[in-house]
Amino acid sequence: MMKFAFLALVLTIPFTGLPQDRILIHHARIVDVHTGTLKKADAILVYGETIEKIGLEKDFGKTKGISQRIDAGGGYVIPGLWDMHVHLEGLDLVEDNEALLPLFLAYGITTVRDCASNLGEQVLQWREDIRAGKRLGPTIFTAGRKLEGKNSIWERDLEISNETELRDSLNWLDSQKVDFIKITENTLQGPLFMQAVRAARARGYQVSGHVPYDLTIQELADAGFSSIEHASYLLRLGSDENLMRDSLARDLKTRAEAERDYLLHFDQARAIDAYRVLGKQKLFVCPTLIGGRQLAYMDSVDHGQDPFRQYLTERFQSKYAWRINRMAGETPEQKKQRKDRYNLIKAQLPYVNESGMLIIAGSDAAALNTFVYPAESLVEELEIFQEAGLPPKDILRSATLNGALFFRKEKTCGSIDEGKTADLVILSGNPLENITAIRGVWGVVARGKYFNRSALDSMLEKARQEKTILDRTRK
């Protein structure tokens, strides 16, 4: 009985308003994500939502107004993690997504970038509720709903076929106060796609999205494209994109044949040269490797007992079937090609990182992405980065400071510096030595509100209970 009383107390704290007392975190090793080293300080003073001062613990002895002192026990303090590619989606999954929002905090993820969905307006409301302290969850940046062509496969996107519809859609997105613009290419043709990029940039937005077959990555970068979503598109840079585009336009190749050729005839040296050009333009790329890995190795990995599924409703998990069914008839050759493609994309990360392109870590967690679990999948994504050969300091930066750089908010968040938002995670291990240390979360500060490990465990338990209740009421 006491356990559930404590649970209710923890989960209603955010509804009482935003924090205003001072918190002192001391006996800490503070990670500087700018340099990939430890700061020469061991204490952080938080006031309200802001990091007020960083220094030595002995210097805070006479500080007034400290209502909470947190002994980090020699643990490592990092900025809150950012998942820069999620989809809070599903017209029939509103309650399911709401129940999962606190889980991001339990994993040390204090910020997410929602890359558009059919729940665009609902996500915008969640964004405001969390900002106002009315709902527990990560800070949300969202594109609302994305731009697409007519009759696309995506539900409730903003479909355009001319400049007038483009202008009207951007006006609507303006009215919704979205944080960036997302564009995809299911049916949107290259010329209008390019106009959309330029028009959105002219309004001051960062623009992310996919890469149409009738445009090149370099053309998009020159037009002001901010980020490529999914590193799979980078395989095109190992071939002559212009030649392939012409072959597709003349119906000499199908899209499937083009994708096969990009893989089979990939020229690493050519790709590295292209990365360097894009690096000078500071193009962002969000790799989202975890989804490709889950699909590539689905034939040899049993996901039936994955621990995270205890938090996912039966309705949420039922959405996984469409990809599973689509892949059911794959030949051994197709399965091998899927694995080869994943491993080649993964191998590009060190080259991309060295080129000057900015990697932003994102999971692509979504109900439609099979076995790509909210929160858990970002941790797996960062572990894949390490397997690929990225240094832990660069991996950590991809999931913290680089997200802030994307939104041009590096002066207010994304690192542990005085005057920045107090989003912090206390770890038991050193993530600069091994990124798997991010699994050792024992405390989180989200916009100045502190949650110890017991409170974080209560969030997980609450999500598990809500999953059980939703499943029961739907039968």
Q: Kindly state which CATH superfamily the domain 2-78+415-473 is placed in.
A: Urease, subunit C, domain 1 (2.30.40.10)
For position 62, what pLDDT does the model report? 85
* Mean pLDDT computed over 231-260: 93
Residue-wise pLDDT tens digits, 351-410:
999 999 999 999 999 999 999 999 999 999 999 999 999 999 999 999 999 999 999 999
Averaged pLDDT, 285-302: 97
pLDDT at 11 exceeding the cut of 80: no
Indicate whether 19 pLDDT > 60. no
Q: Which of 358, 361, 363 is nearest to 374 (CA)?
A: 363
Taking 50 as the threshold, does the pLDDT of residue 2 lie above it? no
Q: Which residues contact 73 (CB under 8 A, 6 or more apart)?
A: 27
Nearest to 240 by CA among 254, 228, 258, 222: 258
Binned at pLDDT 50, 70 and 90, residue 238 comes out as very high
- Say if residue 3's pLDDT is above 50: no
What pLDDT does residue 20 have? Answer: 60
**Percentage of residues of the chain with pLDDT beyond 70:** 96
Average pLDDT, the chain: 94
Q: pTM here?
A: 0.95
Lowest mean pLDDT among 217-226, 250-259, 271-280: 250-259
Q: What is the mean pLDDT of residues 264-286?
A: 98
Sign of CA dihedral 161, 164, 169, 170: positive
In CATH terms, 81-406 corresponds, of 3.30.1360.30, 3.20.20.140, 3.40.30.10, 3.50.50.60, to: 3.20.20.140
Expressed in percent and rounded to 5, the helix, strand and coil fractions of the chain are 45, 15, 35
Q: Does residue 6 register a pLDDT over 50?
A: no
Q: Give the span between the Cα atoms of 201 and 218, in whole angstroms.
A: 16
Element (H, E) at 359: strand 358-359
Listing DSSP states for 214-268 in one string gives: TS-HHHHHHHT--EEE-GGGGGGGGS-HHHHHHHHHTTSS-HHHHHHHHHHT--H
Provide the pairing of β-strand 50-55 with 43-47.
antiparallel
Q: How large a percentage of the chain has pLDDT more than 90?
A: 92
pLDDT score, position 145: 98
26-51 in b/e form (b: 16+ CB < 10 A) is: bebbbbbbeeeebbebbbbbbbbbbb
Crossing angle of helices 453-473 and 94-106, rounded to 10°: 160
User: Could you tell me the pLDDT band of residue 239, with boundaries at 50, 70 and 90?
Assistant: very high
- What is the domain partition of the chain in residue ranges? 2-78+415-473, 81-406
368's tokens: 């439609």
* pLDDT greater than 50 at residue 16: no
- What per-residue confidence (pLDDT) applies to 12? 37
How far is it, in rounded angstroms, from Cα 229 to Cα 404? 17
> Cα–Cα distance between 277 and 282 in angstroms, integer?
9
Average pLDDT over residues 217-231: 98
Amino acid at 122: Q
Q: In the prediction, which pLDDT does 8 show?
A: 33
Whether the predicted pLDDT of 442 surpasses 80: yes
Nearest by Cα to 439 from 113, 76, 85, 101: 76
